[in-house]
Amino acid sequence: MLRRYFLSRLGGASALLGVGQQTPAPAASTPFSAARHAQDDWFEQLPGTHRVIFDTWTAARFAEGIGFAGNYVRVNKDAYSLADKDLAVVICVRHHTAPFAFSDAMWVKYGKQFSDRMSFVDPKTKEPPATNLYREQLVNLSKQGIHLAICALTTRAYTRIIASATGAKAEDVFDELAAHTVAPGHFVPAGVVAVTRAQERGYAMIAIG
């Protein structure tokens, strides 16, 4: 009895001290690598050794997005002596900023529908704009290599509103809008997805609101 008691106590002590136990080696961790999809390959096709995407979705703050994008390009040129080809810059327009991707002609035709859904009016007239108030700035940025990621999900929401108001077919309206962008544009399935895909491909993301 004493011998069994002694051995049982010895086994307990060994367990506490880790004697006779083998600690499994930690499993080797594999760095995360996101899956790639053909819809997002255009992000890789933009030249540039620095990559950034500006995410915009609020009409009232879109001017800030344009301003920050312009600052990004200018400072990289002035302080780092970089050229346009060294920068891959994308502005994502979604939710209430998607209509800013379209030309003045589209605003002449559909400005009322754009404005109503965006809750946006011309700051000067307080009326729905008859032109794209940011067309000139976006055209200038596009000349410096900036591209737009245009939310197709949002655009189709606008086309349904326009179709209901005008009697046109929503698909025809979508094709018309797609043919009248103010800057090189890529229709992405959804802007909220595009900003995450861009980050997975090495783009820094700056959220404007």
Question: If you write DSSP's letter for every residue of 62-87 in order, what string do you get?
Answer: HHHHHHHHHHHHHHHHHHH---GGGE
What global pTM score does this model have?
0.85
- pLDDT of the chain along its 209 residues, tens only? 444 444 455 454 444 444 455 666 666 688 888 999 999 999 999 999 999 999 999 999 999 999 999 999 999 999 999 999 999 999 999 999 999 999 999 999 999 999 999 999 999 999 999 999 999 999 999 999 999 999 999 999 999 999 999 999 999 999 999 999 999 999 999 999 999 999 999 999 999 98
Identify the pLDDT of residue 25: 67
Residue pair 94/56 in contact (Cβ under 8 Å)? The answer is yes
Give CA separation, 68 vs 47, 57, 82, 90, 175, in Å. 20, 15, 17, 12, 30
Domains and CATH numbers, the chain: 50-207 (3.40.1260.10)
Distance CA 141, CA 199 (A): 21
Residue pair 169/163 in contact (Cβ under 8 Å)? The answer is yes
Strand-pair partners of 150: 93, 187
